[in-house]
Copies of this chain bind each other. A is one copy, B any other.
Amino acid sequence: MHVFYQPDNKKHFLETDEAHHCIKVLRARPGDELVVTDGRGGVSKGTIVSINPKRVEYQVRDFYQVPLPDYRIHMAICPTRKAERNEWMVEKMTELGVHKIQFVISEHTHRETMKRVLNPERLIRVALSAMKQSQQFHLPEFAYFLNLDTYLGQVEAKERYIAYVASEDIPRHLIQQLSPVRPVEILIGPEGDFSTAEIEAAQAADFKPVSLGDTRLRTETAAVVACHSAVLAQIQ
């Protein structure tokens, strides 16, 4: 099953990249069945009625709403300096079922670098492709360019964890601390780690330190395995 994307579930046609993929890659024909999502849980099942070079029109036979799960996974990350590592991280967290991805500016992040390594339009395309590929119907929410202090003041989830490298006492592993079926917020440190003041500020905002294992993980690996741990916490 291939899933297509049309953000407006009142519009029954595919355009641009989606139409191109449908026509050129999958070589769809009038009469073919298709599945279209609006990225907000809405799923349309229908039949292609006409194809022209830039547009695929379809008739919807069935529309239903896939609910979000009871839990929510919110990841907050100080991005890495390489665009492709940030894109990879977004792709993998989306495949796993992340609900929100928040990029945070810390002392060791250059704001200018962030603008260069995080392209919101490109990240949405990566997430869109990963959502369809993994046969999900909800696009993760994105938020950009918040200073750590502002971020700490806006967190809603009561269950909050922070992963960083420099730690005298090694905390318990995230998987040993997570509760099932609750919104969870996980904050991942930057290359070069958080400053001591930042770690203190996060702990004052009720973020509990967690370990992500015995090996030292790159930022994007830490984000993906933390997200995966949060998924696993729901099934045990």
The residues of A with any CB-CB pair to B shorter than 8 Å are 88, 92, 95-97, 133-136, 173, 175-176, 213-218, 221, 224-225, 228-229, 231-232, 235-236
Contacts of A88 in B (CB 8 A): 88
| A134 and B232 contacting across the interface, CB-CB below 8 Å | no
| B96 and A235 contacting across the interface, CB-CB below 8 Å | no
CB distance from A202 to the nearest CB of B (A): 23
Contacts of A175 in B (CB 8 A): 232, 235-236
- Of B96, B173, B221, B229, the contact of A213 (CB 8 Å cutoff): B96
A135 and B173 in contact, given A221-B92, A228-B225 (Cβ under 8 angstroms): no
CB distance from A194 to the nearest CB of B (A): 18
A235 and B173 in contact, given A213-B96, A221-B92 (Cβ under 8 angstroms): yes
| A231 and B213 contacting across the interface, CB-CB below 8 Å | yes
- Of B97, B133, B176, B218, the contact of A95 (CB 8 Å cutoff): B218
The chain B residue sitting closest to A96, CB to CB, is: B215
The chain B residue sitting closest to A133, CB to CB, is: B218
Provide 24 A-B residue pairs closer than 8 Å at the C-beta atoms, listed in order of the A residue.
A88-B88, A92-B221, A95-B217, A95-B221, A96-B225, A97-B214, A133-B216, A133-B218, A134-B215, A134-B216, A134-B217, A134-B218, A135-B215, A136-B215, A173-B232, A173-B235, A175-B232, A175-B235, A175-B236, A176-B236, A213-B231, A224-B224, A228-B229, A232-B232
Q: How far, in angstroms, from A14 to B216 measured CA to CA in the complex?
A: 23
CB distance from A140 to the nearest CB of B (A): 12
Contacts of A214 in B (CB 8 A): 97
Contacts of A215 in B (CB 8 A): 95-97, 134-136
| B97 and A135 contacting across the interface, CB-CB below 8 Å | no
CB distance from A91 to the nearest CB of B (A): 8
CB distance from A81 to the nearest CB of B (A): 14
The chain B residue sitting closest to A231, CB to CB, is: B213
